[in-house]
Amino acid sequence: MWFRVEPGRGVPIYVQLMEQIRRAVASGVLTPGEQLPSVRELALQLSINPNTVSRAYQELEHEGIIYTLRGRGTFVATPSSTLTDRERLRRLDEAVERLLVEAYQLRCTPAEVLAAVKKKVAGMGGKDTQKGEIEHDDE
């Protein structure tokens, strides 16, 4: 598949995997309902242990990004938040703060930051929200 991990680079393998899957989902490369490769298959392909893949899958499931049906496989979840709007915006705010701290250290001007955000936001599908609303058959 389209994943790539490098061991012994500080970042744990399962975290690298998680990030790539998260990005693939966020960018629409992986769509809700789509099946991910089996833990064994992916493990073989990346020359890592199936448990390491499993770990990545489990943590992502815990985050609600994907879901798993035992014996059948692992699938991309339909995005849905269990958070209140208030909490959702609070977390967004925290994330933005982290961005701005980082931008400060890069000595980026507010204009640059805004421009960068606008560009990427536009690039990621101009819709008002994300993908469709296909329900998946949870247990």
Partner DNA sequence: GCTGATGTATTAATATTATAGTACTGTGCC
Partner DNA sequence: GGCACAGTACTATAATATTAATACATCAGC
Residues engaged in binding a second copy (CB under 8 A) = 22-23, 25-26, 63-65, 79-81, 83, 88-89, 91-93, 95-114, 116-118, 120-122, 124, 126, 128-130
Q: Please say whether the beta carbons of 134 and 33 come within 8 A.
A: yes
Burial track 34-46 (b if 16+ CB lie within 10 A, e otherwise): eebbbbeebbeeb
Minimal distance, residue 44 CB to a second copy, in Å: 27
| Residue with Cβ nearer DNA (70 or 86) | 70
Binding partner of 10, given a second copy, DNA, none, CB within 5-8 angstroms per partner class: DNA
User: Can you tell me the distance from the alpha carbon of 79 to that of 107, in angstroms, rounded to the nearest whole number?
Assistant: 35
Q: Smallest gap, in angstroms, from Cβ of residue 71 to a second copy?
A: 27
- Cβ 9 to DNA shortest distance, Å: 9
Question: 36: which DSSP letter?
Answer: P
Q: Which is nearer to DNA, 4 or 107 (CB)?
A: 4
CA distances from residue 107 to 67, 100, 117 in whole angstroms, order as listed: 40, 10, 16
